[in-house]
Structure 1
Amino acid sequence: MNFFLETLQVTFLSIYYLLEAFVKLFIPARRKNVTGEIVLITGAGSGIGRLMALEFSKLGVTLVLWDINQEGSQETARLAKKEGASRVHCYVCDCSNKTEVYRVADQVKREVGDVSILINNAGIVTGKKFMESPDSLIEKTVEVNTMAHFWTYKAFLPAMMASNHGHLVSVASSAGLIGVNGLSRFLYNNCSYINISCIGSFYLKDYCASKFAAVGFAESVGLEMLASGKDGIKTTIVCPYFINTGMFDGCYTKWPRLLPILDPNYAARKIVDAILKEEVYLVMPRSLNLIFALKNIVPVKMGLILGIYFGAFNFMDHFRGHIKSD
């Protein structure tokens, strides 16, 4: 009897949630009010991190900007205040260093308060072939793109759990859902982390591995919060295609109408909008959802043919990129 009742319940709820999702395609979701929230953005000194800060500056939040580049984060703060932000705090933090993350996090809690919206945005990318990448650079990729998320969550999640209120945001990548060819050329220096987002072929490299891990970690923590009854803590996982921040100059997209390189301002607005609507996943552009679905259902050999068709094996062929501090 229990089996019958549980099956009936699952069937009913499945139909209900499918209909709910269909209705939401036509009815815009309500945006939550974040006035007074403390928003921490890592990698805020340039690129998407800076643009997200500018979007949030219009919403009455307190901004906490982390970056390894002090000048970059201070410039972001200046621009945010120009956009209307009244409280902006800048901190120099090397997100690859666990000790430093914990130290700066404690400083933020003492000087600003408990962070209620945490946006893990800092990232680095490589572009060499896997076997040509020094071990130290592979380790740095994982430390920044993955392990930093562990340390920031451990630092700020306890306060969110105590109040059953908060939002965890992982700016990951499409490369965290499907493997990428050629993402092993290192784009990191001692000035600034680089905000990047890419997808490519079906070969796994250090960058893809780090982003797969970031997505899996964010998903598992989100589920743990629900299982623990902390349904007031929301999770948003962002998986965009190439974003035109200048860090991927030379990258190639075979079908720009199907897979366009994203405008940074558009991407930042979409991410903030997804946070305000409490969307769990944001995939940009939407056409990527079809590619991800095909990856999971078609034979491997057919997937390779489709990869060639979409130009997935050649995205990084003419990659040159450059390092800058916006």
Structure 2
Amino acid sequence: MSFLKSTGDIIGFLLLSLFAIVEGIIKLFTPLKYRMKSVAGEVALVTGGGSGLGRLISLRLANLGAVVVVWDINKSGIDETVKLVQASGGVCFGYVCDLCDREDVYQKAALLRKEVGKVTILINNAGIVTGKKFLDTPDQMIIRTMDVNIMSHFWTVKAFLPGMMEDDKGHIVSIASLAGYTGIPKLVDYCASKFAAVGFDEALRMELEAEGYSIQTTVICPYFIRSTGMFEDVQSRFVPTLKSNEVADRVITAMRCNEKYAIVPGYLQGMLALKWMFPWTCAAMFLRGLVLDASPNHGVPSPSIPETEVTSIPSKDQNGSALHHQIARRVSSSERKP
């Protein structure tokens, strides 16, 4: 019986795989406008929406008829985004939220549900980069990078996923990076956080599918983006850095088409495959030749600072503004399941 069951499972797997491949080919040749779902009337939360890529995504969602909610630590940036969305005829709400503080995330999530409604589209966009060699990066900055770039995903998803599961409806978008697939000098903490974001998205999707939910997840992995305040000075060869408007358009398209992942530009997907096909020496030489220096302005080691004296550290963030807030803080040991 065990042999027959295993044989049946293999045959079923092959048939379902064939069906999935045919379905993928059909979608590939289906015009884009017929593949995109409507987001009109959906409540969409964009973290780090106070400027840069987050603001561009917010404007596009509002133009498509979504009710947009912006979270950021920058109050003036939030106000500017809300004004721009409203000026374009959209609906937008803004809340100051410290994504490094899970209790603040849970409190603002409860307030959002009360004042706006259930979030059905969650876009985890907020991100920062320090751009220093690993041993030159203060501990607090490493903690900050992980808190903003990945730990905040845990807190926002825990806050809003239960509501999505109640209605078996929702979409979670993680803005990761190609640095979530390849290591780059001076970006050790950043790469680690983006590798984690890619893994978070895939594992969460697998878990939701295994439990029979129709909630969608998408991870976006772009190359270096210009005009976001993070990689303005990156020294890249052969592959041009990306325009933020192009990336914002790709985020919306990927989400509306229920794509599982989107690598930007798309042709780099093939290069990632080659990374595992060739010896590591070849892959490392290629990556070093492609990205000469990811953060030229941070190449000089900074003097060590006693941890007791570090209370606030500015870092370049994904949305083009400097985030300044308390880092040396105590994290509550209590667990909470919203």
Quickly name the TM-score band, shorter chain normalised: 0.7 to 0.9
| 2:218 is equivalent to residue 236 of structure 1 | yes
2:48 corresponds, among 18, 43, 48, to 43
1:62 corresponds, among 67, 72, 84, to 67
Question: Residue 95 of structure 1 contacts residue 101 of structure 1 at CA under 8 Å; is this kept in 2?
Answer: yes
Partner of 2:36, secondary structure, is: coil
Question: Residue 260 of structure 1 contacts residue 285 of structure 1 at CA under 8 Å; is this kept in 2?
Answer: no
| 2:51 is equivalent to residue 72 of structure 1 | no
Which residue pairs with 1:301 in the alignment? 281
1:152 corresponds, among 131, 156, 172, to 156
Q: How far 1:118 moved relative to its partner?
A: 0.5
Q: TM-score, normalising length from structure 1?
A: 0.87
| 2:87 is equivalent to residue 82 of structure 1 | yes
2:26 corresponds, among 23, 26, 29, to 23
Partner of 1:209, secondary structure, is: helix
Question: Residue 228 of structure 2 contacts residue 244 of structure 2 at CA under 8 Å; is this kept in 1?
Answer: no
Aligned length: 299
Cα root mean square deviation, aligned: 1.8
2:298 and 2:139 map into 1 onto residues whose CA distance is 22
Which residue pairs with 2:261 in the alignment? 281
Which residue pairs with 2:243 in the alignment? 263
1:214 corresponds, among 172, 191, 197, to 197
Partner of 2:20, secondary structure, is: helix
2:272 corresponds, among 292, 299, 306, to 292
| 2:295 is equivalent to residue 316 of structure 1 | yes
**AA partner of residue 197 (structure 2):** A
Q: How far 1:27 moved relative to its partner?
A: 1.7
Which residue pairs with 1:167 in the alignment? 171
Per-residue deviation, residues 190-234 of structure 1 (Å, max 9, x unmatched):
xxxxxxxxxxxxxxx111101111111111111111111112x10
Per-residue deviation, residues 236-259 of structure 1 (Å, max 9, x unmatched):
10000011124222112210xxx2
2:166 and 2:16 map into 1 onto residues whose CA distance is 30
Q: TM-score, normalising length from structure 2?
A: 0.84
Partner of 2:291, secondary structure, is: coil
**AA partner of residue 291 (structure 2):** A
**AA partner of residue 8 (structure 1):** I
Which residue pairs with 1:121 in the alignment? 125
2:206 corresponds, among 215, 223, 226, to 223
1:307 and 1:263 map into 2 onto residues whose CA distance is 21
1:65 and 1:281 map into 2 onto residues whose CA distance is 23
1:90 and 1:84 map into 2 onto residues whose CA distance is 16
Cα distance 1:179–1:322, how it changes in 2: closer, same or farther (>3 A)?
Answer: closer
Partner of 1:78, secondary structure, is: helix
Question: Residue 38 of structure 1 contacts residue 116 of structure 1 at CA under 8 Å; is this kept in 2?
Answer: yes
Which residue pairs with 1:254 in the alignment? 237
| 2:103 is equivalent to residue 103 of structure 1 | no
Question: Residue 38 of structure 1 contacts residue 115 of structure 1 at CA under 8 Å; is this kept in 2?
Answer: yes
1:273 and 1:79 map into 2 onto residues whose CA distance is 21
Partner of 2:30, secondary structure, is: coil
Question: Residue 43 of structure 2 contacts residue 66 of structure 2 at CA under 8 Å; is this kept in 1?
Answer: yes
4+ runs deviating over 4 angstroms: 318-324
Which residue pairs with 1:5 in the alignment? 8
1:308 and 1:102 map into 2 onto residues whose CA distance is 41
2:13 and 2:316 map into 1 onto residues whose CA distance is 51
Q: How far 1:25 moved relative to its partner?
A: 2.5
Partner of 2:128, secondary structure, is: coil
Question: Residue 249 of structure 1 contacts residue 319 of structure 1 at CA under 8 Å; is this kept in 2?
Answer: no
Cα distance 1:73–1:110, how it changes in 2: closer, same or farther (>3 A)?
Answer: same
Which residue pairs with 2:98 in the alignment? 94
Q: Is the radius of gyration larger for structure 1 or structure 2?
A: 2
- Structure 1, unaligned runs of 5 or more: 184-204
Cα distance 1:282–1:77, how it changes in 2: closer, same or farther (>3 A)?
Answer: same
**Percent of paired sites with the same residue:** 42
**AA partner of residue 194 (structure 2):** K
Per-residue deviation, residues 40-68 of structure 1 (Å, max 9, x unmatched):
00000011000001101111111111010
2:7 and 2:233 map into 1 onto residues whose CA distance is 57
**AA partner of residue 199 (structure 2):** G
Partner of 2:122, secondary structure, is: strand
**AA partner of residue 202 (structure 2):** E
